[in-house]
Structure 1
């Protein structure tokens, strides 16, 4: 590989990016992100801020792909870097919201004694790993834009390292959630046993969200491990199946099973159900009948 011409070996894209697909997902991510923004403003559920930022990353990332599609085959660096970096790191921001919601669920059901990590350290531990993963992925993707064989190789290794860290932390997070779930099912607290506290619905949503992020991260590891001329990165359809659709599904899932219900049960306030329906809870849990 070192004997190959650098410019010949590295290409921004190994296919002609689809303008239709890029526009479609630009619209989809804009809609769900604006809905999340509306839900945030109405319910003041601050833990969804990273999710919203990640949604806008996806939106601008697909705008970058749309611009690139109009430049085929003479792609420029700017749109390529925008889509490569933003689409790569957005799920790390989604993960931050998922991590923080578990802490609120544990608080809601008075279940800290069932968690293998104290609530004080739960969010800090996983968000710290998430930040490290975010920084490694973003810096690695930026380094790859250097186009030389050395830059691309180094960037790929850093991105893979960041993705592996994300997978490890997410795997540990799922273990923590499952252990908590099993323990509280075996020895319920008064609040977890109450029919007025629908915490199971929210922890199930976190499992689904975690599965989507995990599957997408494993896909990305395989993609980067194959290199710039690999089979996966040479076929655009894989990006849309194993990244775009999965991350869009996660955002829509959290539009519907919105974390505001947990917030409202803890401190009162407004809750979003089914995406747009808003209700006001004046008292924690007692407001449900």
Structure 2
């Protein structure tokens, strides 16, 4: 197994933490796979691949506990953990377009729906490529100069992710406010009650939640790589588990609970119809839908 004379870790990677998160990501990813198969939700394939990336990344990190100078293991855990959120983002972008289409609210979207998924996913692909390239340069670098170059390429990819996620949140919020002010007929059908309703409103809330979690994680990563290989953040493993592992596990759990297929299944499964509630539940007045 190839080894490096550079200091890859400023600590010995915790075995317990890596194993625990590898298992947690395995469990939530397995459940996502079950939900995807049951609902035929092809748009969630990237999300599931992101979960697999996390499993591989933390498994490699667990083995790194015993081989702290192994560059192959370092590269695996760095790249797979780093790239997983961009795959989550791809599915999240596609879900928003499907929500808007299912509510017949295309005219209320700031970004034309026919371009929405393409624009955001293209930004996501650019972020993925930059982070992957930077991680590859950094993990296999033979000099300190290349290590720094790789870190700044990753920072560029993370900044692209932040820009597109920010634009995505703004687009979502604008649509949300517009459809509340001018509800479509579809947005008033079978609107569930509760603090967090299990309908398009709840699904939008879930998208906001996971987007904020990914933004926090991306900001942490920007700080980490801007500080460099000798920085305070990268030198303390606790930051990885608080601001990356925990945040991304919550992302997967939130989407387990608010799986898009609950709202979008009529679009995913031909011939099925959304169950209708009682007359009192099927329609809401404009006053009840105000922000």
> Structures share a fold, TM > 0.5?
yes
Residue aligning to 1:226: 227
Alpha-carbon distance between aligned partners in 2 of 1:90 and 1:264, rounded to the nearest angstrom: 26
Alpha-carbon distance between aligned partners in 1 of 2:233 and 2:268, rounded to the nearest angstrom: 47
Alpha-carbon distance between aligned partners in 1 of 2:77 and 2:23, rounded to the nearest angstrom: 15
The answer to whether the aligner puts 1:165 opposite 2:166 as a matched pair is no
Alignment RMSD (CA, Å): 1.5
Where 1:282 maps in the other structure, the secondary structure is: coil
Where 1:71 maps in the other structure, the secondary structure is: coil
Residue aligning to 1:132: 126
The answer to whether the aligner puts 1:40 opposite 2:60 as a matched pair is no
TM-score (norm 1): 0.89
What whole-Å deviation, never above 9, does each CA across 1:219-249 have from its counterpart, x for those lacking one? 0000000000100000000000000000000
Where 1:13 maps in the other structure, the secondary structure is: coil
- Offset of 1:108 from its aligned partner? 1.1
Residue aligning to 1:70: 66
- Offset of 1:210 from its aligned partner? 0.3
Residue aligning to 1:201: 202
Where 2:233 maps in the other structure, the secondary structure is: coil
Alignment of 1:52-91 (within 5 A): 52-72=48-68, 75-91=69-85
What whole-Å deviation, never above 9, does each CA across 1:106-142 have from its counterpart, x for those lacking one? 0111101000111110000000000000000011011
- Compared CA separation, residues 267 and 79, structure 1 to 2 (3 A): closer
- Offset of 1:282 from its aligned partner? 2.8
Alpha-carbon distance between aligned partners in 2 of 1:144 and 1:81, rounded to the nearest angstrom: 8
The answer to whether the aligner puts 1:143 opposite 2:144 as a matched pair is no
What whole-Å deviation, never above 9, does each CA across 1:143-179 have from its counterpart, x for those lacking one? 0121411111110110000000000000000000000
Q: Does structure 1 retain, via aligned residues, the 8 Å contact 2:134–2:153?
A: yes
- Compared CA separation, residues 266 and 226, structure 1 to 2 (3 A): same
- Offset of 1:288 from its aligned partner? 5.1
What whole-Å deviation, never above 9, does each CA across 1:23-59 have from its counterpart, x for those lacking one? 0001000000111111111111111100000000000
- Aligned length, in residue pairs: 268
Q: Does structure 2 retain, via aligned residues, the 8 Å contact 1:104–1:262?
A: no
- Compared CA separation, residues 201 and 160, structure 1 to 2 (3 A): same
- Offset of 1:16 from its aligned partner? 0.7
Gaps of 5+ in 2: 193-198, 279-291
Q: Does structure 1 retain, via aligned residues, the 8 Å contact 2:261–2:268?
A: no
Residue aligning to 1:277: none
What whole-Å deviation, never above 9, does each CA across 1:169-214 have from its counterpart, x for those lacking one? 0000000000001111111111112234721010000000100000
Residue aligning to 1:259: 260
Residue aligning to 1:188: 183
What whole-Å deviation, never above 9, does each CA across 1:90-114 have from its counterpart, x for those lacking one? 0000001110000011011110100
Alpha-carbon distance between aligned partners in 1 of 2:88 and 2:277, rounded to the nearest angstrom: 29
Q: Does structure 1 retain, via aligned residues, the 8 Å contact 2:137–2:149?
A: yes
Where 2:187 maps in the other structure, the secondary structure is: coil
TM-score (norm 2): 0.89
Q: Does structure 1 retain, via aligned residues, the 8 Å contact 2:190–2:276?
A: no
Alpha-carbon distance between aligned partners in 2 of 1:288 and 1:31, rounded to the nearest angstrom: 33
- Offset of 1:266 from its aligned partner? 2.9
Residue aligning to 1:213: 214
